[in-house]
Amino acid sequence: MSDVYNLFEDIIEVDIEQNIIEDCIKDYYSNTEFRTASMQKADPNVHIDYFTSLVSKVTSSDVSFCSGNYYKHTLPYMPHTDYKEQLNNSINFVIPLSIKGDASLIIFDQLWSGNSVTWDMNLPIPEHKTNKNTKGSPIDYDIKYTTGKPFQEDIHQKYLSFFKLEDLKGLSANIFNFVPSKGVIFDNRKIHCTSHERWEKLGLSLRFKYAED
């Protein structure tokens, strides 16, 4: 039994219909302006009901859509969380739309139960407007479910070599290749980031809350 309120413990990969992917790509490119130069974000306008029904099915719960955005970028995401206490938006649905190169979504088993943060991993990174920049690595903070063990060296070398191995101590990782038609549903209080391969990717990130909250 988890000591975290309404924790969705599983990380579930789901199939997305190809016509849905194509509609989302068209929706993204119908925009003429984007938020932030590095992420080129835009609001989604199609198939929210479809995605909501998938999340409800996977979580076996009534959920409601809170927020979301398209994003297109070439720089990796740092380890971060997305939960907002005022929204109670604890469920993430990450939907890959297109990819040039190879990229992976890294979802750690460890969890930060507070409001969203981005760890700088002791690197000089730009200030984030949404997820507050936080000095150091997750292990420097009161995160839940740490292993107490060194991070897996093979995963570090293949996906996260930009970080110091010691800054990943206590974490354990789940790897999901960024593949259009394969979405991932998980609790967004779980720490997550992207891999460090060379790529350009377009995706859709949606956030949901349990309907009773």
24-45: b or e for each residue (b if 16 or more CB lie within 10 Å)? Answer: bbebbeeeeeeeeeebbbbebe
Query: 51 CB contacts (<8 Å, ≥6 apart)?
Result: 65, 93, 95, 206
Q: Are 69 and 93 in contact (CB under 8 A)?
A: no
140-175: b or e for each residue (b if 16 or more CB lie within 10 Å)? Answer: eeebeebeeeebbeebbeebbeebeeebbbbbebbe
The better pLDDT of the pair 29, 211 is held by: 29
Cα gap 178→172, rounded to integer Å:
19
Fold of 12-210: Jelly Rolls (2.60.120)
pTM beyond 0.75, yes or no: yes
Radius of gyration of the chain (CA): 16
Cα gap 116→132, rounded to integer Å:
7
Cα gap 93→53, rounded to integer Å:
12
Which one-letter DSSP state was computed for residue 200?
E
Q: Are 131 and 81 in contact (CB under 8 A)?
A: yes
What are the boundaries of each domain within the chain? 12-210
The pLDDT tens digits of the residues spanning 86-145 come to 888 999 999 999 999 889 999 999 999 999 999 999 887 766 566 567 889 999 999 999
The pLDDT tens digits of the residues spanning 49-96 come to 999 999 999 999 999 999 999 999 988 889 999 999 888 899 999 999
Pick from 110, 98, 102: nearest CA to 196: 102
Cα gap 140→161, rounded to integer Å:
19
Give the model's pLDDT for residue 138.
96
Q: Cα–Cα–Cα angle for 107, 141, 145, nearest 5°? A: 50
The pLDDT tens digits of the residues spanning 199-209 come to 899 999 999 99
Dihedral of CA atoms 78, 83, 85, 86 in degrees, nearest 10, equals 100
